[in-house]
């Protein structure tokens, strides 16, 4: 049991590392290709515009699920996956090959959405998105973005809980809005169907959830005496378990988060759940800070560490990575213990804190480190 849990935690960390290394490798090339998306990366209003876009996207997706427009959400996510994959492939492959690879990825997501396909797409999307945001958000906008999203994440989980409604709408879509971390090599998304159960207290409030709203993502650990259900969204950190019993009792409606009972038949004989899910936004948002630190911290204070293939990596970016992993391990520890927590406060907090420690250690003045 411990080996399986440790293996799953290690695999989750590997996925985060791949997103981070991919973003760092892409940063200089994205800039050379002219992929910077704003005219003035140091303008803090860029962060406010992006946060506003998140709120609008959240409202539109909730409306889409309310009016049974799941196909629109699926189409949007698949198109976004293909577009971000193209950004990555375009710097690695000839134009025609890049387009073909992006289309092939989109087709795979539609016809074979197995966990390894979703993880591969998620890593490509995460590295591409973090690289693009990293060169477009200067130090102050990046810090502001991560701080506001961490607060928003906490409010949406502990307060309004609207991210849980969004989570219940996308659970069955099997899209790369999450990174899937199986605890067994035999795990298959095709064999897991979420069950709809009521809260043990008799109301509809979720008793346990860990959600990342940075890209509208929720993490939840849910189950009852008969089933254990997790729900995910665009940006979700979720621990879940299913087996044959969950498929037998599943309903056709969108699943709702449920309370975790003291025991669950959805774990195997070792008591380990089949898989847990980490929202893609959980990996992307702190990596934005890493990429921004690598790109915008003046080289006279923090020169490149000279790591092959990662010319942009400097000390502040490295310590931001360390801080992110500290937040990730704390989050996974809490989730595996069955405690409800939002993801971004820990992850973004770790990234910002780690960055500031590294920047000060490198001799970067406080004003410069904060992008003021």
Burial class (CB in 10 A: 0-12, 13-18, 19+), 226: middle
Query: What phi and psi values does residue 338 have, to the nearest 5 degrees?
Result: 85, 25
Tokens at 339, concatenated: 């405690």
pLDDT of the residue at 161:
65
Q: Which of these, 128, 126, 81, 87, lies nearest to 105 by C-alpha position? A: 81
pLDDT of the residue at 101:
95
Q: Are 81 and 123 in contact (CB under 8 A)?
A: no
pLDDT of the residue at 12:
93
How many structural domains does the chain have? 1
pLDDT of the residue at 278:
83
User: How many other CB atoms are there within 10 angstroms of residue 318's CB atom?
Assistant: 22
How confident is the chain (372 residues) per 10-residue block, as mean pLDDT?
Answer: 86 96 95 89 89 85 82 88 92 92 93 90 94 94 95 83 65 79 82 37 35 39 38 41 37 31 42 75 95 94 92 95 96 78 90 96 93 86
Between CA 83 and CA 172 the distance in angstroms is: 23
Instruction: Catalogue the long-range contacts made by 159-163 (C-beta closer than 8 Å, 24 or more residues apart).
Output: 161/205, 161/206, 161/209, 162/58, 162/62, 163/58, 163/211, 163/213, 163/216, 163/217, 163/218, 163/233
Distances (CA, A) of 4 to 172, 183, 276: 25, 6, 12
pLDDT of the residue at 60:
86
Domain hosting 285: range is: 2-369
pLDDT of the residue at 295:
95
Between CA 249 and CA 223 the distance in angstroms is: 13
pLDDT of the residue at 57:
83
Tokens at 282, concatenated: 């959980």
Distances (CA, A) of 184 to 80, 188, 270: 29, 9, 12
pLDDT of the residue at 198:
30
pLDDT of the residue at 168:
64
Distances (CA, A) of 11 to 158, 181, 183, 283, 352: 28, 7, 9, 13, 24
């Amino acid at each position: 049991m411990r080996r399986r849990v440790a293996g799953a935690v290690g695999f989750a960390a590997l996925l985060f590392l791949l997103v981070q290394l991919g973003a760092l490798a892409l940063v200089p090339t994205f800039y050379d290709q002219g992929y910077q998306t704003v005219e003035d990366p140091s303008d803090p209003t860029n962060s406010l515009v992006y946060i506003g876009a998140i709120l609008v996207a959240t409202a539109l997706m909730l409306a889409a699920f309310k009016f049974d427009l799941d196909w629109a959400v699926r189409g949007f996510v698949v198109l976004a996956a293909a577009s971000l994959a193209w950004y990555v492939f375009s710097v690695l492959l000839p134009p025609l090959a890049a387009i073909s690879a992006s289309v092939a990825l989109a087709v795979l997501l539609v016809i074979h959405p197995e966990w390894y396909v979703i993880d591969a797409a998620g890593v490509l999307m995460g590295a591409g998105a973090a690289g693009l945001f990293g060169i477009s958000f200067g130090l102050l906008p990046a810090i502001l973005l991560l701080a506001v999203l961490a607060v928003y994440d906490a409010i949406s989980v502990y307060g309004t809980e609207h991210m849980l409604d969004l989570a219940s709408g996308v659970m069955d879509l099997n899209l790369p809005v999450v990174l899937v971390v199986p605890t067994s090599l035999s795990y298959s998304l095709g064999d897991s169907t979420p069950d709809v159960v009521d809260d043990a207290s008799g109301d509809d409030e979720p008793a346990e959830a860990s959600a990342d709203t940075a890209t509208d993502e929720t993490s939840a650990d849910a189950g009852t005496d008969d089933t254990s259900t997790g729900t995910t969204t665009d940006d979700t950190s979720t621990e879940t378990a299913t087996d044959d019993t969950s498929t037998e009792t599943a309903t056709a409606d969108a699943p709702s988060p449920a309370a975790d009972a003291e025991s669950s038949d959805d774990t195997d004989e070792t008591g380990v759940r089949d898989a847990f899910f980490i929202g893609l936004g959980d990996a992307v948002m702190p990596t934005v800070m890493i990429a921004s630190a690598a790109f915008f911290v003046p080289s006279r204070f923090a020169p490149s560490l000279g790591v092959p293939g990662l010319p942009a990596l400097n000390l502040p970016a490295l310590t931001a990575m360390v801080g992110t992993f500290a937040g990730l391990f704390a989050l996974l520890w809490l989730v595996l213990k069955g405690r409800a927590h939002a993801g971004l406060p820990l992850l973004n907090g770790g990234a910002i804190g780690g960055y500031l420690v590294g920047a000060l250690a490198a001799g970067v003045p406080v004003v410069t480190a904060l992008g003021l």
